[in-house]
Structure formats: C-alpha cells, structure tokens
Structure 1
Amino acid sequence: MQDSESGHVKDPAAYPVLIVPGYGAPGFQTELVGRKLREAGMDTVAIQLPWLAMGDMVRAADVLAEQVRRVREYRGFEKVNLMGFSIGGLIARYYLQEMEGHPHLSRGAFVSSPNYGTYFGYLGFFSPAGRQVRPGSPFIEALNSSPLYESISRRCLSIFVRWDGVILPCFSSYMPHGYNLMLPRPISHWRAVMSDETIGRASEFLGGSMPEGALPGRELGLMEEGGMVAVTFAPPPRRRYWSPVSGPFRSLFRRIKALLR
C-alpha cells in the first residue's frame, strides 16, 4: 500500500515495518518475527546486517538508512515503522537520532533493547557491537545524550521482560521519554525477542493502537494477573546502579585479557 496523492498516510499500519535484528541473530529468528507481524496484517521488510549485527553498530545503522531510502524511493512511502529486537533497537535509534532518520519514522517498537547498555557486552569483547553495548560506552552515551532522544521517543515503545537474563537489570530497556511496557513473562532474553506476547504487543503499537499496560515517560507498571502492579523507577547514580552486576563481568574480562597477552 503506497502513500496517497497528498503524500501522507494517517494510519501507522499502512506503513511497512522494517525489522532490525539483534546481536548474532540467525536468519530464522528475523523471519519468525516477520511472519508473526505479517499474521497481524503488517507489511514487513527484513534487514540483513553485516556480521549478524555483531559488527560496528554505526555501520549497521548505515545499512538501515539505505534500506529505508530504498523503501521510500521505490515503494513510494513517506514514512516507515521500525521494529528492533535486542541491539536492533539501538541500531534503529542511532539511525533516527544521529543520521537524520527521524522525519521518516511513523512508529518504533523495540523489544528487549538495552537502551542503557548491558554488562553482557563484556562477553562480546571480540566484536565491535559487544564493546559498544557496554554501559557508559561512547556509543551508549551518545544515544542517551542526543537532543533528539526525547522527541523521537514519543513515537516509540520499549517492551521488556522482568527476567531477561541478558539485559541486567531489565530497567536498562527503559525509555524515560517514550512508552514502556514491562511484562512478567516470558523468561529469558531469547524467548522474549520471539514471543507471541511481545511481538503481539509491538504489532498493536505499530498498527496505531496502544497496548494494554504501556505507560508513558516515568510512569512504569508491571502487568500481573489481576491488573497492573506499580513499579518505582528512578535512575540512580550510574556506577552504583550497575556495580552489583558489573563486578563479575569485569573480573572475567580482566582474566580473559590476561590470557590473551
């Protein structure tokens, strides 16, 4: 479905969804996400990233920018929707914030994306993306200090699960200026990015609706049986926030470096 003669489509569901894969995501995972979105009535375009998205995320954002350009030019769309899972959400954000992609965004849905980084990035020390996703890295700092972050986030939903296991703590997925939805299930990062529940909520948002339990800004709730449970969130000082989690990973990283000398 193309844009109308006026060049504007009011219904977000009319725009195609570009799927941005996560770190090391195999092709079948991206295809599974796309199939579930298509079952919800979405027109999808799967993005293939170099190095299975383990390479430089700036370079990956270049690839995304080119795909957006092609979709807009050859299919006649004014805007696109973006669906990023895991670090695919960070790549999408970099394109929107740092590469002037924000005018082309209808809506963005990010599932289990470590917006404030994850110390699991230390286990990916051998890859550019692994180093970039560490908390406090220049890449993460640039994303979260961008003057465009607040305005772009208003068109974005971050969906994450309570027990992710890779994004620790799970609040690293939180977007203070966007919409947030924290779910109690599924358990594990791998299951979260392929879950019918998370993808279904994402498709609702991309289609123009607001999923039940999604809250704006600093309001944050947790969907439980019987309704919403309030969860207090206030970003503490960065080092104390991460120190209980970071210690084991820093120790492991030092040992690995010592072995490689």
Structure 2
Amino acid sequence: MFRIEATMKNFLMIITLLFTTVGATFAQTAPSVHVVGRDGTEKTKITDGDEIRLRAVLPALAGETTQVDFFIEGLETPLTTCAVSAGADACLSEPVPTLGWFWLPGHHLSATVRGQPLPGGLLLEIAPRPVVMVHGFLSNWETWQAYLGSGGYLAELGLSGFAVGDGQAPGVLNTGSPTNPAGKTNSIAQNALILDGYIRAVQQQTGAEQVDLLVHSMGGMITRYYLDRVMTTDVVAQVIFLGTPQSGSACVYPLASLGFLLPASIEIQPSYMDGVFNQQVTHRRGTPFHLVAGTRLIEPITSPCTQVPSDMVVDVNSATSIPLDSAQTIALVHGDLTTNRAVFDSAVKALLQAGPQNFLPHADPAAPALASGAEQFSRTFSGHINAGETREIILPIEPNVSLANFSLYDSSRSLQIEVRGASGNLITLDPQKNGLLLVNDPATMIYLGYGFAQPKPGAWTVKLISGDNTPAAGADFGLNARYTGGATLEAQTSPTIPAIGQAVTISAKLTADGQAITSTSSEARLRKPDGSSETLTLTNTDGLFSTTYTPATSGLYALELAVTAQTSAGYTINRAAYLSFEAQPGAQENQSNRNKLLFGLAGLAVLLFLFISLRWFRKKKTS
C-alpha cells in the first residue's frame, strides 16, 4: 500500500511538472508585442517623446531570418523593423522615437510578419510631454500666468506647464528687474545652466525624457545656448519662440549706454548676436524651431528703434534671421505675446499638438554670414535728472535724412518732453503724425518714442522735464535717434571672437551722402567684462578712424563709437556704432587657471594634514 501511494505521488509530480513546463513553453512562445524602455525594462506606460525599443515574439521558432514590421494606430507606415534570426523566436528593434504619439487617434501597437498580422498587440498608455516656459529680458516667470494652473491655456489640452522661477522646480533666471536697472544680470551662459537644472527637475517629477520649450524674447537666446553648449542628451522635443531677437534689438542702446543691466544689455545688442553669438551657437541637435513674431507696428514713423514690421522692440527681420521650421506673425506688441489668447489659439496650440510627422531629423545649419548695412543711429545722450530739474539735448539732423525716429529710456517713467525743430518752434507731438508712443510697461526697454518724416536739417532740441511723479531721487535717462537716409557710418571690430592677447582692430568710416566734410572727430568708450570703462583714442587717416585693443581677460567687451562731422554747408553730422567682441580664454589663461586650482588643492591638502596631525597629537597627549 505504501509503495502504491509513493508511486502515485511520483506520477502526479511528473504530470504536474510536465504541464508546468508545457505551460511555460506556451507562455514564452505566445505571439506578442512588447515595449522596452531606455533602462531595458518592459513598459506599458510611457511619456510622449520617450525613447523605446519594440520587441516581437513569434509563435514558433523561425526557420530562417524573418523580418517583423511594427505599427501604431494612426500611422500607415511602419515605425521600425527587426529581424528574427533562424532558430530564434524574438527580435528587438533599434531605438524608436515616440514624439507626437500622444496626439495620435489610438495607441495600439501591432506587428506584421511577411505582411500578415502577428497576434498579440499592445495597448500602450501614453502621457503628454510637459511644457517648460522661459521668460525674457526684464521679466520673470509671472509673464506665463495665462498658461499655468488649472485655468491656464495648457490645462485645456491636458498638458502640465512649468515656468522657470515659479517654484515648481528649483531655479530662478536673472534677466534683469525693471525696479533695479542698475543691478547686474546673469549672462546667457549662466542662465542656460539654471535652465538645465530646472529641466532636469521637471523630468524627475514627471518621468518624461523630453519636454517642449515655450520661450519669450531673450529666453530664446538662453534656450539656444542651452541646446548648443549645455544639453548632454536629447531632452527638448521642440522650441516655440515668441518674439525672440535672433539678431538682437537696437532698442537696448539707451539703457546699455547707462551701464545698466549688464551683461544682458550688451548680449541683446545686434553686434553681439550677429557677430559673436550666432557665429558660435549653431547646434540645435535636430530640435525643430518654430516662431511667432509680433507685428503691431507697421508704419516706419511709429517704430522708434527697429525696422518694421515690429512688435515695438523686436522686428520681424531679427526674429526670422536664423533658419526656422515655421514662422507666423500676429499684430501684437512684444509684451502681449505671452498673454494674448490669440497667440495660443492660432499658433502655440497646434504646435504643442503636433504629430510624429512634425519631428523629422534636422541637420544643424551653418553659421550665418555677418550682417552688413547696419542701421544708423546717433550717439546716446545719457545722464541723470534730479527732481525739479530739466535737461536740454541737441541732436543734429543733416540734409537728405528722410526719417528721424527718437527713443527715450527713463528709469522712472515720469519725465515729460518738449521738442523744438531746426527752426526753433515748439512741436506738439501727435500719435498719427509723429507716431508718438508712451509705453507704460516697465518691462519694455523704451519709455517714449516718436518720429519725424522729412525733418528740416539743423539742430533739434529735446528738453527733458522732471514731472510731479518723478521720484525725489530723480531719474536716469538715455536718448538717441535712428536715421533713415543721410550719412552712413560703417564700423566694425575684427575679429569679433579673439583670444586673450590677440589684438582687435576697431575701425569706422563716415560717408556723408555726397556732402563735403570739412572736419571730423571721434570718441570711443569701451566697457570691459568687469563693468569698468576705458576711453580709446582713434587715429584719423583720410577719414578712416582706427585703433587696436588687446584684451587681457576673457569675457564680453562693448564699444560705443561716435563720429561727428561738419559739412561745408555748416551742418553737423552725428553717427554712432554699437560694437562688441568676446575674448576667449587662451592657453595661457587656461594654464593660469589650472595652476590656481592646483595651488588651491595643495593648500587644502596642507590644511587637512595639519588638522589630522593636531587631532592625533591631542589624542596621544590625553592618552
């Protein structure tokens, strides 16, 4: 009896083991489609943009090499393929981009073998990419409030929004504050590092591998630097620029002349963007670039410091000066691009909902050619007006000037203005005739602008008057004019990206539009990376002003070069060029930095040795 029971138990164990083995075999060879994440584990849920591989399991061992095609609902062409080797029953594809998958009509993955469906597809759960927003010059995260929160634009699409500086993740950009114009800003490079940390924190919170970047104004310059110099893996799906001055904005000249908001007020200048930034920052790692530009100003007389069409501080030519995947315009001023509902509805919304066909590989463009034919400006007249004071400024206008536009920066936004033409008569400024603009937005670089068509040649007088609202401490101001027609000043620095110790040639030549010049003079003020200034003397050789300067330290240098001329007819010509160059660390400076680092480490080692020795001595003494 005992033997029979033992035999029955052994028989049942064999049967159980057999069925278990057969069941496991069927489970392993059941046809199926799997998603494998970047970490090598299988996934049933991903975020749009995550990198995955697709794995197919055949119902039986392949007798020969067999190709498997993978599909997702909503796309007719295969996502990718893999090949099952003879004698195997599974294969794994190369990495597959999933950008735009969230917006497909369905998320069912399937596979075919020799054109026949493979049983066992997979319904993949996909979350949308988060959107990270980057503010611009003289701004902060609050400019994005229309997009944030449960009632924001992004929530309508089921998207999560993060604005750098909002506290949802660590990191605050410093692009300047309107209430502290004398304060320093971060450089573009420093802000790009902060952006990097913020994006990493958003990735950690959401689990997303990629994000969309929605950027305004200087935030686009920070983003481009981040893509080129900071980003180590592909974490940005696309960039949507709102009013970014890809070739800079001349509206910053009056503010920069005061030495305010450095270095950002230099980095936003056309000479820096065209001659330095755009020559170096060209890598975008295949990221699509889209743009929305404001075109509120379309008449030249209404635009104090830019060409038209313009959003008041950034013209369309600057916004579209780099290769873009798409560009749209809307009749808004610069500050409204982040808040206006029409921008979201007509442009941003569709870009955020873009499908896979919008994320094809992109090659990095070549560095653009240096711009020629710079716009013509007067020197900037800057200073301080105490409460109760007035200041008169003389701006000469020579013959053949067809349009003169004036722009005023006023730190208090309280100064009043009187204008007298060359005849000495007081002119009442009119919004229609003179394009008078009074800007109350403190984040805008200009406070007041106006223009004159066919101005009478001669000396024009602008009187700045402190008003009842002028603070007791007074107001800082900067005033200049932009000329169309008349004389032309051509100026340059060469090279624009020198090494430490490499001489930079500075040259300028004034062409007086056919007028005979009896005398000329020049003045040049160089602002160094530490914020200090130096006056340079230029030599006049047959009307060509030139000098050389050798930078001793790395960093950004800005030069305001003004040339004044007298014509034989008795008119004064005044033109100014706003130039910049960026000295790169040379081998000598790098070696010096390495020596300093080694010296510092050696000092720490000595201190550590003394500390340990002292502890040992005290311990030995007490014992």
Deviation at 1:55, TM superposition (A): 2.9
Q: Is contact 2:51-2:98 (8 Å) kept?
A: no
Q: Is contact 2:254-2:380 (8 Å) kept?
A: no
C-alpha separation in 1, matches of 2:264 and 2:353 = 30
Q: Is contact 1:37-1:199 (8 Å) kept?
A: no
The count of residues paired between Structure 1 and Structure 2 equals 228
Q: Give the counterpart letter for 2:154 in structure 1.
A: L
Report which of the two has the higher share of strand: 2
After alignment, is 109-118 or 19-28 more displaced? 19-28
Deviation at 1:144, TM superposition (A): 4.7
Q: Does 1:238 align with 2:238?
A: no
The residue that corresponds to 1:155 in the other structure is 288
Of 134, 146, 157, 2:281 maps to 146
Q: Is contact 1:122-1:253 (8 Å) kept?
A: no
Q: Is contact 1:115-1:174 (8 Å) kept?
A: yes
Matches within 5 A, 1:93-112: 93-100=224-231, 103-112=234-243
Deviation at 1:99, TM superposition (A): 1.2
Q: Does 1:23 align with 2:137?
A: yes
1:131-172 CA-partner distances (Å, limit 9, x unpaired): 1111121697334543415x54x51101102230101x3210
State the identity %.
18
The residue that corresponds to 1:39 in the other structure is 156
C-alpha separation in 1, matches of 2:321 and 2:158 = 27
Q: Does 1:6 align with 2:139?
A: no
* Structure 2 stretches lacking a partner, 5+ long: 1-44, 54-96, 103-127, 166-171, 177-184, 296-309, 357-367, 384-476, 479-524, 526-531, 534-623
Q: Residues 113 and 102 (structure 1 numbering): CA distance in 2 closer, same or farther, change over 3 Å?
A: farther
Higher relative contact order (CA 8 A, sep 6+): 1
Q: Residues 112 and 102 (structure 1 numbering): CA distance in 2 closer, same or farther, change over 3 Å?
A: farther
State TM-score, norm by structure 2: 0.33
Q: Does 1:166 align with 2:310?
A: no
C-alpha separation in 1, matches of 2:235 and 2:51 = 17
Q: Is contact 1:12-1:207 (8 Å) kept?
A: no
Report which of the two has the higher share of helix: 1
Q: Does 1:51 align with 2:174?
A: yes
Q: Is contact 2:101-2:355 (8 Å) kept?
A: no
Deviation at 1:236, TM superposition (A): 9.1
C-alpha separation in 2, matches of 1:136 and 1:12 = 42
Which has the higher Rg, Structure 1 or Structure 2?
Answer: 2
CA RMSD of aligned residues (A): 3.4
The residue that corresponds to 2:217 in the other structure is 86
State TM-score, norm by structure 1: 0.73
3-state SS, counterpart of residue 15 of structure 1: coil
Q: Residues 55 and 78 (structure 1 numbering): CA distance in 2 closer, same or farther, change over 3 Å?
A: same
* Structure 1 stretches lacking a partner, 5+ long: 211-234
Deviation at 1:58, TM superposition (A): 1.4
Deviation at 1:68, TM superposition (A): 1.3
After alignment, is 21-30 or 5-14 more displaced? 5-14
Q: Give the counterpart letter for 1:50 in structure 2.
A: L
The residue that corresponds to 2:575 in the other structure is none
C-alpha separation in 1, matches of 2:382 and 2:270 = 14
Deviation at 1:51, TM superposition (A): 3.1
Deviation at 1:243, TM superposition (A): 1.1
